[in-house]
Chains A and B, each alone.
Chain A
Amino acid sequence: MLEKVISQIPALIVVLPLVGAPLMMLIHRRNIVYMLTSLIMYINVVFALILMVQVAKYGVISYHFGGWAPPIGIEFRIDHLSAVILLLVTLSTAIMMPWMYNACKEFIENKREYLFFVLLLLNYAGLLGMAATNDAFNLFVFLEISSLSTYAMIALGKERRGVMAAFNYLLMGTIGATFYIIAVSMLYQLTGSLNISDMAARLSEHKDSKTLFVALAFIFTGFALKAAIFPLHAWLPRAYTYAPNPTTTFLAATATKVSLYALIRMGINFFEVSSESSSGIYAFIFISLGIAAMVIGAASATRQHNLKQILAFSSISQMGYMVMAIGFSFSPDVAVADAGIVAATVHMFNHAILKGLLFMAVGAMAMRGIAPWLIQLQGRARNMPLTVGLFIIGGLGLIGVPGSIGFISKWYLIRMAVLQENWFAVIAILATSALAFVYFWRIIEVGFMMKPHPKAPKTHEAPKPMLFSMIVSAAIVVVLGVYSNPLTGFIKEIPDEIRNNPPQKIVVPMKPLSKKAKGEGYH
């Protein structure tokens, strides 16, 4: 029985929140909705961990929906990369749930609170689906599920500017999704298939096809919009700043990473089959855009006066690291390409945890009236030392101070650049972390070392559930910072698996129940 459930996990992990969402709509009672949502989130973390263990044990898990074999039917395919992304999404959301209890009460109107959780579940299901699926069209569907719920989540706050920011994002997001579907139709026309690995195999006959080139351009632009890759990042600061805090926290930790994951997935499968000369072009585009995003994002962050905005620009800068790392993964040198993929994935995971922690802390501070504006914080950080202390841990992680997970990702990024002897990239990485130090330390200095405004009221520490979430998150930051072997060891398998593309390693999951009659039971 347990075996059966376990073999169904690739589907369950998506289906559970997807079914949960309308259920919450019916239940409608705030506290029950909250508890059930949290329950789903916690169960899903366990699911993601089980999937990781299974992937480590058996290799790629391929799940055939309805019993139809992959090129025809829809396939969920969990390999090392998507297992990490599933863990990233489920873990960072699960950590947030206790925090959400207070935050949603504070930042979202009472009668709409249950709606927030409905949207959260939908969004979450969409992101998990994007990570799990191996079907290009299916990916589009999940992308739209998550995008549409994102727009509503941004507009759900008490602030009216959120509506405008949501509309802005809606326009950009729709264009991005449309670009993607155009690319999928082109690839379909070229290959006659929608399964991503199958398409990749067939595309090797069309290496120099102009259609492929154009389709890849559309894919890149589409996902660049969703992942806020420079210069298509303009929607992000506004959306993050004016969205209610719970939305911002969730989006910052998960949404952009999953879009980037989709880009990596496409990159592995499509960009690399295209001819040598064009993959050089892709590498150049990714690396230069990544570096521009890193430096410009960090430089803009130093000029902001709103904590949420500082963190938003810092997100753009950090996404730049990952884009640059993807660029390195196109390198003909195998060692560099591997290092690129590993660095991108490690940083994705680490940044999700860090940004989650930082935005949670800002939310807690905003609840007590000492954020998001820097001027509100002036000299008042001492009123909630624990929250601000945890905020500092997150910030040190962002700077890449050793002992935090930020250092681990910086290590991998620099290692990748040094391996290719791309000293310009090394300098850019170092300069960006120096800028990160500047924009972050400014906050600390204002918070601790300035005299508070005489009329500023004294506040007290954040409520306990919020603190609990933040402490768990900070603990992960530190523990993985001094002992990240299990995670990085797992991530290190990714490039190997991609290159060898081992179909024989596939553990056939449980066949759908109807198939059992044909005697094809699961192994």
Chain B
Amino acid sequence: MLTSLFLILLTPLLTSLWVLINRNFPNQRDYGAIVFAIGTFIQVALLTYRIFPQLADPQILNLWHITPSITLSFRVDSLSLIFALLASGLWIVTTLYAIGYMRGHHEHAQTRFFAFFPLAISAALGIAFSGDLITLFFFYEVLTFGTWPLVAHAETMKARKGARKYIITLVATSMMLFLPAIMITVIATGTAQFTNGGIAAFDSFRPISILILLAMFAWGISKAALMPFHGWLPAAMVAPTPVSALLHAVAVVKAGVFTIIRVIMHIFGYERLADIPMSEFLSWAAIFTLLTASLIALRQDNLKKRLAFSTVSQLSYIVLAASIFTPTAIIAAIMHIVGHAFGKITLFFGAGAIMVASHKTQVSQLDGIGRRMPITMTAFTIGILSVIGLPPALGFITKFKILFGVAEQSYLAVAALIISTFLNCAYLLPIIWRAWFKTESSTAGSISDPDVINQHGEAPIQCWLAMIITAALALIFFAFPAGLEKFATLALGR
């Protein structure tokens, strides 16, 4: 298992090396990267296949002591495999999409882009397979620093400012809340190892200490974008769209909620948290975030910004489900990591494809675009259905799982989810309406939007091909959700 884990983490880094070596041969560089991505996915799949029979027991691998009290360790269980399969699988599609996008958009510094992208994937996989908080924190920080060049890619004043907000929020919260929380855990309990049912030494803690620690974790892991530390996510939308699509809809943000689920399940233990009075404060924070973010999304005209706020609110669905502290709700949270990913990545792909083809970035410019880009907008529509939670897309199933899980505990949360679903409809459905049913306005080329083109067709083939794949995945998983559910159930262990 050690070798396969090692190879899984190494292959993306080799991809970076490949990209740097072939920097003068764009085709070799980019399509080679896809081959590497497929290789990574196959390795994760093989690992899954091999240890599937023993999946109820986590496979733990302690490597060595960094200092006498810090260990470097890895852990493979179904939670980590779900996240790893998701990240490495969507990486293939995103690389395909990125080729079309970067070339269609005539981006500069493509080698840097393609070299740093795998680094982020490697870090995300590292987070998935970390066996204790220290190891996880290492990969968490690598992910933060590794994505910075991607966010600041444009090198304009605006990009620099966005990237600055991105990295300062993430680093400050992780260093001032997450890290001290880890250290207190290690010093007080003597370990930071993920254990089923949580670390036993927490039994002797006063409830208030556990609540404070939990709060430090929840807000310190700001990749999960709980308010008020959500601002980096809209700010990071200055990045090229493939980055927003894979990293800021799947890998980075899901790494955040993944870590929160890990902490709840394997550091504190959800049964222990359920017994503590006032531990529902986390669900209140999540409800507040998901409603506020939806309200803000209503007012965003920039398509990527609107999607970003939608992501903030969707992440809080997952945190909300995890913070109910019941088995059904946690399974729902894990499933929604996947359920949200396919829909949201399709939407970002769509936003990027529109930008490449027509240079349109605002929702209000999208009138009638469905007739010019039918494939893109069909996939986009499926993505929207999935994100809102309507059939026939995977989002419907996972959202209902969350609803059922939440209903066991609190009807208020159910009400919040229903309101939020209406809000989702209110900010996402108008996009479909505009695209398919309105007639194209003729402001193109006018003073208000000088760059916009109206005589355009589909984006490059790589772009819409990628969108078809992700939209199809959302539909396929809607038809066959049983495997995913079984996988998620295994995460609870025996």
Contacts and interface: CB of A to CB of B under 8 A. Distances in A.
Interface of A: 396, 399-403, 408, 411-412, 414-415, 418-419, 426, 430-431, 433-434, 437-438, 441, 445, 448-451, 481-485, 488-489, 492
B66 A441 contact: no
B68 A434 contact: no
B100 to A, nearest CB: 25
B142 interface: yes
B138 A411 contact: no
B176 A431 contact: yes
Interface in B151-184: 152, 155, 159-160, 163-164, 167-168, 171-172, 175-176, 179-180, 183-184
Contacts of B164: 445
Contact of A402 (B137, B159, B171, B176): B137
A433 B68 contact: no
Contacts of A415: 69, 183, 187
Given A402-B134, A431-B176, A418 B64 contact: no
Nearest to A438: B168
A434 B176 contact: yes
B67 A408 contact: yes
Nearest to B144: A401
A398 to B, nearest CB: 13
Interface of B: 64-70, 72, 134, 137-138, 141-142, 145, 149, 152, 155, 159-160, 163-164, 167-168, 171-172, 175-176, 179-180, 183-184, 187
A418 B155 contact: no
A400 B183 CA distance: 14
- Of B69, B168, B179, most buried by chain A (CB within 10 Å of CB) is B179
Contacts of A481: 66
Contact of A449 (B65, B138, B155, B183): B155
A396 B145 contact: yes
Contacts of B183: 411, 414-415, 418
Nearest to A487: B67
B142 A403 contact: yes
Decide if the interface of chain A is mainly helix, strand, loop or mixed: helix
Contacts of B152: 445, 448-449
User: What does DSSP make chain B's interface, helix, strand, loop or mixed?
Assistant: helix
Nearest to B184: A418
Contact of B66 (A419, A449, A485): A485
Contacts of B175: 400, 430, 433-434, 437
A385 to B, nearest CB: 10
Contacts of B155: 449-451
A402 B133 CA distance: 12
Given A419-B187, A451-B155, A488 B179 contact: no
Contacts of A399: 171
A411 B176 contact: no
A494 to B, nearest CB: 14
A483 B145 CA distance: 22
Contact of B67 (A448, A449, A484): A484
Contacts of A408: 66-67
A287 B115 CA distance: 45
Contacts of B70: 411
A414 B177 CA distance: 13
B154 to A, nearest CB: 9
Contacts of B172: 434, 437
B49 to A, nearest CB: 30
Contacts of A431: 176
A448 B172 CA distance: 22
Contacts of A419: 187
Given A402-B138, A419-B187, A449-B160, A430 B176 contact: yes
Contact of A441 (B72, B137, B141, B167): B167
Contacts of A430: 175-176, 179-180
Contacts of B184: 418
